[in-house]
Amino acid sequence: SQQGEEDPQALSIQEGENATMNCSYKTSINNLQWYRQNSGRGLVHLILIRSNEREKHSGRLRVTLDTSKKSSSLLITASRAADTASYFCATITGGGNKLTFGTGTQLKVEL
């Protein structure tokens, strides 16, 4: 079963707007990562936030983590058409480096 559930499943916005995607997970984690997948391509790592961190920034990306609610959010500011993709959260639990992926949010940014 999926560790992470993304919300919403699909999101359509206009270029320049902000996009917010949420991820909920079930068990305690070591870290949470966000990946992007363009249609027909492999996944690309965007950002990693550790369990002892609450917020992290990378360019136009802002990730928050609330371990008490077992949830994370990914904010993309000033979206561009090139941001159109599916976005997945993924978690690592316990030892090892096995990632468990969520169900993904399909983002469409229209001109």
- Rule CB under 8 A: which residues touch other proteins? 2, 30-31, 33, 41-45, 48, 88, 92, 96-101, 103-104
Nearer to other proteins by C-beta: 13 or 30? 30
User: Amino acid letter at 55?
Assistant: E
φ, ψ for residue 41, nearest 5 deg: -120, 170
Q: How far apart are CA 44 and CA 97, in angstroms?
A: 17
Chain Cα centroid distance, residue 65: 11
Nearer to other proteins by C-beta: 73 or 100? 100
- State in angstroms the smallest separation of the CB of 27 from other proteins: 15
Q: Choose among 1, 6, 5, 3: nearest CA to 91.
A: 3
- State in angstroms the smallest separation of the CB of 72 from other proteins: 15
- State in angstroms the smallest separation of the CB of 67 from other proteins: 17
Nearer to other proteins by C-beta: 63 or 79? 63
Beta partners for residue 65, in sequence order: 72
